[in-house]
Amino acid sequence: MTGGMSGGNRRGLPATDFVRAPELEASPVARVFTDTEDHTLVQRRLGLVYGLFALILGGFFTLALVVSGIVLPARFWETNVSVMRLGHLIAVAGLAAAWALCLGKPRPAWLLAAIDLVGSLAVLTMVSIMIAFAPAGWRTQLMGTGLFVFVITLRAALVPSPPTWTAVVCVIAALPVPLGAYVATLHDPTWSEALFPRIAVLLIVTGWCVAGTASAYAISRIVYGLRAEVKSAMRLGQYTLEEKIGEGGMGTVYRARHALLRRPTAIKLLSPERSGAANVKRFEREVQLTSLLTHPNTIAIYDYGHTQDGAFYYVMELLDGISLHDLCEEDGPQPAGRVTFILAQAASALAEAHDAGLIHRDVKPANIMLCERGGMADFVKVLDFGLVKDMTESESTDAARSSADAIAGTPLYMAPETVTNPKEVDARVDIYALGAVGYWLLTAEPPFEGANLVEVLSHHLHSIPKTPSERLGREVPTELEALIMKCLAKTPGDRPASMHELAGALRALETRLAWSEAEAHAWWHARSSSKKLAAERLGAQLSAPLGPVARQP
């Protein structure tokens, strides 16, 4: 999914070629500690590696104390043994400190680099002390080189760092190992220089260290290279996909970030089965139209394009909030003042779309998000103009033919004329649907329900819904109830004449059905403890099918 991108930005201009971010020009060694995603992973892996080393060496330290106390009690306090034990203990303490530093909040890049370097050096220094001061006859040189290879290869496999940096760590960490092996021969009274020169020991151990460094370099090159390939595959133009946050019938939604701006975004990638030429052309056209909308209560479209294999994607702002569907599912019917406040914002956003000649055609609770934005609580975002119809286009165009003859929308919120005359629908289908959304907010139930699609559509065509007061068994402010029932009129001419008229009527009601800022902030404060769950809901909502119903009449 890399390269070969074509697309557009917020103003409908072609997307520019990939521009490399300044930090990506840095050396691989610097980048691994400065890139946000790599930085987090490296810190976690360093904690794992050096915590594991601390556990292993601490276990051997305890075992050595027990064994030496039982098997060799007479030599328990020998100087050489005490020096070995002290070096062992210092190494364990240093590794435990390195592990502790990798826990919790993100650490500075320089500190992670120091932990990586000093941690390996501490382990191998301890090994060298053990070699140098081991009692005569232990012949620990080979054991020391074996431990060196174990340490650096485990680190190379678990810590995803550039091979160059791995080699630097290995070379510095290896320095004490040959020295310790050489010093060990000086402390061995049985050593015969004539039988085996000390310089040969130094060269052999150095050779094994070089071989171990080469192995670690090769491992790091493979691990880091594979990770780079995966990251490259998860790049769309200037956007890097970070994690999948939802999946639906029309495509998959990913959390992503821009290479230069570091702005969190959401990217919807059209599913392969929807990536036919006709679908891609229609979706591209609809995203271009939606990107022209600038109302603050309309979700912002930042960019769009095609992957190398032709799949269509578009980039939108990432929202953290709750859909009106989930709001009522969790909290039940909403206060009249809050309903008015929400509907007025949604109506204003849709009014701009109608002025531009665009009909949403899928207004429903799941496509309206409630957020906190810029310190404002209960800020509305109208989402998913995936079924938008451009009234300025002639019906003879290819794009119009792809969707104009289809019944489009969600049955529970679908205006009657969408079923009886889908070719001639106008902006009043959105007024009907927004009235149904208001009904849902007041009652936590849609205006009509049925056992199947036919029954629901039949109700929209022929039945008069119960008033919210009847449905709830308690009074609802008369003016708000009357306005919502007017929106749900069967005949388009009996509804408010325009979305502007509806928005004006709702704003007039706001002064009498006040929903205070303090009440809104109190609700969001109570909800803040469940933000992780809210993010999961957002991903599921964003990836919902753009149009659950799209049938030929």
Q: What CATH number is associated with residue 267?
A: 3.30.200.20
Task: Give the residue with greater pLDDT, 480 vs 59.
Answer: 480
10 Å CB burial of residue 450 (0-12, 13-18, 19+) is middle
With a CB cutoff of 8 Å and minimum separation 6, the contacts of 181 are 128, 131, 132, 141, 144, 145, 201, 202, 205
| pLDDT for the residue numbered 6 | 38
End-of-domain residue from the set 300, 315, 330: 315
In the predicted structure, residue 70 carries a pLDDT above the cut 80: no
Q: What pLDDT does 179 receive?
A: 81
Q: What is the mean pLDDT of residues 40-68?
A: 80
How large is the average pLDDT for residues 459-465?
90
- The phi, psi pair for 104, rounded to 5°, reads 75, -140
Range scoring the smallest mean pLDDT among 108-112, 284-288, 403-407, 408-412: 403-407
Cβ count near 276 (within 10 Å) = 12
**One domain, residues 40 and 130:** yes
Q: Are 489 and 478 in contact (CB under 8 A)?
A: no
Q: Does residue 16 lie in a domain region?
A: no
- Whether residue 8 is contained in a domain is answered as no
Judgement on whether residues 454 and 471 belong to the same structural domain of the protein: yes
Query: What total of structural domains would you count in the chain?
Result: 3
How far apart CA 409 and CA 407 sit, in angstroms, is 7
Alpha carbon distance 58, 40 (integer Å): 27
pLDDT digit string (tens) for 430-440?
999 999 999 99
DSSP 8-state code for residue 474: S
Q: Are 546 and 371 in contact (CB under 8 A)?
A: no
Of the listed ranges 70-84, 97-111, 212-226, the least confidently predicted one is: 70-84
pLDDT at 390 over 60: no
Domain boundary among 265, 280, 315: 315
Query: Does residue 459 share a domain with residue 343?
Result: yes
pLDDT band at 452 (very low <50, low <70, confident <90, very high): confident
**Averaged over 490-502, what is the pLDDT?**
94
Task: Output the six-digit token pair for 209.
Answer: 């260290």
Is pLDDT of 425 > 60?
yes
DSSP 406: S
Task: Looking at the structure, tell me whether residues 154 and 114 fall in a common domain.
Answer: yes
Q: How confident is the model at residue 325 (pLDDT cuts 50, 70, 90)?
A: very high
Same domain, 241 and 157: no
Q: What pLDDT digit, counting tens, does each position of 135-157 carry?
A: 554 455 666 677 778 888 888 88
Check pLDDT > 50 for residue 4: no
Per the CB < 8 A criterion, the answer to whether 391 and 357 are in contact is yes
Domain assignment present for residue 9? The answer is no
* CATH classification at residue 484: 1.10.510.10
Percentage of the chain surpassing pLDDT 70? 73
- 285 and 195 in a common domain: no
Position 249 in a domain: yes
- 3-class state of residue 433 by DSSP: helix
Is 13 part of a structural domain of the chain?
no
In-domain check, residue 100:
yes
360 and 300 within one domain: no
For residue 362, indicate whether it is catalytic. Answer: yes
pLDDT in tens, 262-274: 678 888 877 665 6
Q: Which of 267, 293, 315 is the last residue of a domain?
A: 315
Per-residue model confidence (pLDDT) at position 36? 41
Judge if 262 and 310 occupy the same domain.
yes
Lowest mean pLDDT among 46-55, 377-386, 391-400, 452-461: 391-400
Nearest alpha-carbon partner for 429 in 408, 446, 450: 408
Same domain, 307 and 384: no
The pLDDT confidence band at residue 8, using thresholds 50, 70 and 90, is very low
Annotated catalytic residue, options 116, 362, 378, 430: 362
Question: Do 374 and 337 fall within a single domain?
Answer: yes
pLDDT at residue 510 greater than cutoff 70: yes
Q: Give whole-number Cα distances, 336 to 339, 340, 442, in Å.
A: 5, 6, 7
Looking at the structure, do residues 203 and 83 belong to the same domain, yes or no?
yes
Residue 212 lies in a domain: yes
Q: pLDDT at position 37, please?
A: 47
**Residue at 15 is within a domain:** no
CB 201 within 8 A of CB 185: yes
Task: Tell whether the torsion through CA atoms of 148, 149, 154 and 159 is positive or negative.
Answer: positive
- Assess whether 217 and 282 both reside in one domain: no
Q: Which domain holds residue 486?
A: 321-551
pTM for this structure? 0.56
